[in-house]
Structure 1
Amino acid sequence: MSDKRVVSHSGSIQEAGGSISRFPLISVQGVPLRNHIATNWDSISAFEDHPSDLLIATYPKAGTTWTQEIVDLLLNDGDQEVCRRAPVAVRMPFLEHFSPPHCPSGLSGTPQGDAPPRVIKTHLPFQLVPQGFWKNKCKTIYVARNAKDNLVSYFHFDRMNQTQPEPGPWDSYIPKFMEGKLAWGSWYDHVKGYWKEREKNNILYLFYEDMKENPRREVERIMRYLGKSLPDDVICRIVELTSFKAMKENPMVNYTFIPVPVFDQSISPFMRKGEVGDWNNHFTQEQSRVFDEDYEIQMKGSNIPFRINI
């Protein structure tokens, strides 16, 4: 098994009939991952994909669920009822996740009754994705979100998700993000890793900000990448069904299917704001200055066209 070291841990909460823990982080090849992922790493790295598999990859809280729902609607020709057949976590399993029954592992394969392609979600950085995906030239959609908004969204997610490491106060969360000490590691390495490999591995690299600015344009980009061609009215319907408002009210995607002791949405909704520029409501002027200086160092030499406002 690869190098694994305990990086951090915190307490646990109790649920009737069992215990739910804020999982400690363990380093796998230098990337902090939740312990249940790290202890199953041999199975994850040996995952046998199929060339028809479609991978949706993101750093956490970068538009994953949004993209999953767009893809499912495109693959099912905009049929809303078909896309309500099961919660999104069941329809598109989470490759490295090992916390059934609410979110089955991607290793469990295609949900019964679904036809190919099998759509799988991951937060793994490029270098940790099972190599078969790249050898088999599987289609991969990667979504990146600007660092400041991604940090804010991840902070609120860690507050409500009682299996994630305790986030602590906002002031101390910022340096943890900057130092890559959160689950799934460094945002900087993550976005740069997929960007560098996008052409060689036929990765459709999307930006959250572009999706917010012109959702129809980006839905059509995904449609073409999937080799689909749908009529105008179907595309319009998909754009409408995947608006933030529609998804926030959709029980198949808003994660209300996860029990409260796991996702305490009274602390923060899973689908919180879905905005670009919310970082302005969180960063002080000094925090923004320090973050920007570090950002310039960490992203030096990269030409990824991020936007922090639109």
Structure 2
Amino acid sequence: MSDEEMYLHYHGLLLPKETHSLESLKFVQEFTFEDEDVVTVTYPKSGTAWMQEILPLLLNDGDLTPIQTIPNWDRAPWLEEKRLAVVVDQLKSPRALVTHFPYRLMPHSFHASKAKVIYVMRNPMDVMVSSYYFHQMAAFLQDPGTFEEFMDKFLEGRVLFGKWTDHVKGWRHTDLGDRIMYITYEEMVQDLPAALRRMSDFLGRKLSDEVIQKIAEHCSFKTMKTNNMSNFSLVPKIYMDSDKSPFLRKGVAGDWKNHFSSEQQAKFTSVIRKDLEKESFSLPWSLD
């Protein structure tokens, strides 16, 4: 199938038709945010499924019911996907939501609300590696080609949701003030309880150390990989073939070192740095 058959073009972005439609995109633009809503924002492959596990637990004082009984795409649905319209009326306040949207496409009601945002950033080299494997196993996405070919696409923004640097720049330059919190995937890998405590404090949840520890245990990569409500094993094989690559593949930081040649790394970092050279913020990790 061609790109045209597989993808929607929406405000300069590529979105897969399997999960997005003109109706779902209209639905989100007319969506009414509530002040208690919490949105995790990520560029694809930056820890979205992890946050779909974490957010409901933080917002429900560690009650495991949602992560054991509701698939992650229904307990913390994507704003822009078809599924939101189906489940939105079943979501209890405070609602946990996720999105890959750039800041410029967030609906009007989001800006008018007091909804909070947790923006999760991940080293773009690891993002690209994860995305490369995802394209191999997801039948509704174009074959990624060679690693080198996919890297060129990634750097040029000819991938889902556009350029990584555009996404980061948009969300780093907001007028949201204390409504937004930034955290990295790497911080979460390094010390998940500390990351959960930061999120809990940001959301105004007074969770005990015992509850934080309990959430950390249930949100570990090992536990999530065995939870059918979280590991995407409920998705039929015709859409996502875990034999080609499991959806929850490694859950580590720094796997890019096993994939990039020194020449590819130099090229990749050069483009990313050039895209960010006029920015007032610095990246939280070295690209070397």
TM score, norm. by length of structure 1: 0.86
State which drifts further: 23-32 or 150-159. Answer: 23-32
Paired position in structure 2 for 1:9: 3
State which drifts further: 144-153 or 29-38. Answer: 29-38
Alpha-carbon distance, 1:81 to partner:
3.5
State which drifts further: 46-55 or 267-276. Answer: 46-55
For the residues of structure 2 that align with 1:290 and 1:94, how far apart are their CA atoms?
A: 33
Q: Normalized per residue, which structure has more helix? A: 2
Paired position in structure 1 for 2:22: 39
SS in structure 2 of the partner of residue 247 of structure 1: helix
SS in structure 2 of the partner of residue 221 of structure 1: helix
State which drifts further: 42-51 or 70-79. Answer: 42-51
Alpha-carbon distance, 1:46 to partner:
2.0
The answer to whether 1:28 aligns with 2:10 is: yes
1:99-144 Cα distance to aligned partner (Å, 9 max, x none): xxxxxx22335353x4201212111111112121121121111111
The answer to whether 1:168 aligns with 2:152 is: no
- Residue of 24, 30, 34 corresponding to 1:50: 34
Q: How does 1:243-282 map to 2 (within 5 A)?
A: 243-282=220-259
Alpha-carbon distance, 1:296 to partner:
1.3
For the residues of structure 2 that align with 1:187 and 1:207, how far apart are their CA atoms?
A: 14
For the residues of structure 2 that align with 1:86 and 1:154, how far apart are their CA atoms?
A: 25
Paired position in structure 2 for 1:91: 75
State which drifts further: 228-237 or 114-123. Answer: 114-123
Alpha-carbon distance, 1:82 to partner:
4.1
C-alpha contact (below 8 Å) 1:143/1:208 kept by paired residues: yes
TM score, norm. by length of structure 2: 0.92
1:34-93 Cα distance to aligned partner (Å, 9 max, x none): 346352333332222222222111111100111121111112221223431211111112
Paired position in structure 1 for 2:120: 143
For the residues of structure 2 that align with 1:149 and 1:76, how far apart are their CA atoms?
A: 31
- Residue of 56, 59, 75 corresponding to 2:43: 59
Aligned AA for 1:141?
Answer: I
For the residues of structure 2 that align with 1:308 and 1:78, how far apart are their CA atoms?
A: 34
Q: After the TM superposition, which parts of structure 1 deviate over 6 Å for at least 4 consecutive aligned residues?
A: none
- RMSD in angstroms over aligned alpha carbons? 2.0
C-alpha contact (below 8 Å) 2:41/2:98 kept by paired residues: yes
Paired position in structure 2 for 1:110: 88
- Gap regions ≥5 residues in structure 1: 1-7, 11-22, 99-104
- Residue of 174, 179, 187 corresponding to 1:197: 174
Alignment size in residue pairs: 284
Alpha-carbon distance, 1:255 to partner:
0.7
Alpha-carbon distance, 1:27 to partner:
2.8
C-alpha contact (below 8 Å) 2:52/2:75 kept by paired residues: no
The answer to whether 1:301 aligns with 2:278 is: yes
C-alpha contact (below 8 Å) 2:56/2:66 kept by paired residues: no
C-alpha contact (below 8 Å) 1:160/1:265 kept by paired residues: yes
For the residues of structure 2 that align with 1:306 and 1:212, how far apart are their CA atoms?
A: 14
SS in structure 1 of the partner of residue 88 of structure 2: coil
C-alpha contact (below 8 Å) 1:145/1:306 kept by paired residues: no
SS in structure 1 of the partner of residue 253 of structure 2: coil
C-alpha contact (below 8 Å) 1:277/1:308 kept by paired residues: no
Q: Percent identity of the aligned residues?
A: 35
